């Protein structure tokens, strides 16, 4: 799975990526030097849990993808089966191509997780 994250991180404007469970347990992570793994995992977990809770209350199903845009960057949350792929990007990134890469990476992660089970 590290190879998948490495490939993602080579994308223009990508600051780091991780695979994290909804409980905040990091499965794999490659983050830039300015990003703290524990902090990113805790935030990702809190966001995922809250969004899933709200989606359930609204009868909208489960979370598949979410993009959080903040003043200094973006976080993309992509369901990858047993966990979520979280990708941090620069603010100015055009996500069109990057989202295709993220979906492909999530598919590969999901496939690897099934094989390893």
**pLDDT tens track for 44-56:** 999 999 999 999 9
- If DSSP codes are grouped into helix, strand and coil, which group holds residue 25? coil
| Antiparallel, parallel or unpaired: β 65-70 and 73-79 | antiparallel
Distance of CA 28 to the CA centre of its chain: 11
Structural fold of domain 2-111: Beta-Lactamase (3.30.450)
Q: Which residue has the tokens 């979906």?
A: 103
Identify the band that residue 94 occupies on the pLDDT scale cut at 50, 70 and 90: confident
CA-nearest of 59, 94, 62 to 76 is 94
Q: Per-domain residue ranges for the chain?
A: 2-111
CA distance 29 to 69: 21
Quick: pLDDT tens for 1-40. Answer: 899 999 999 988 999 999 999 999 999 999 989 999 999 9
pLDDT of 115 strictly over 90:
no
């Amino acid at each position: 799975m590290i190879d998948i994250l490495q490939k993602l991180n080579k994308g223009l404007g990508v600051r780091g990526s991780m695979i994290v469970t909804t409980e905040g347990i990091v499965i794999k992570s490659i983050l830039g030097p300015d990003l703290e793994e524990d902090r990113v995992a805790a935030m990702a977990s809190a966001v995922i849990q809250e969004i899933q809770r709200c989606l359930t209350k609204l009868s909208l199903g489960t979370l598949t993808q979410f993009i959080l845009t903040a003043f200094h960057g973006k976080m993309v949350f992509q369901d990858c089966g047993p966990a979520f792929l979280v990708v941090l990007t620069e603010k100015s990134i055009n996500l069109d191509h990057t989202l295709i890469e993220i979906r492909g990476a999530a598919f590969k992660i999901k496939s690897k997780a099934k094989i390893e089970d």
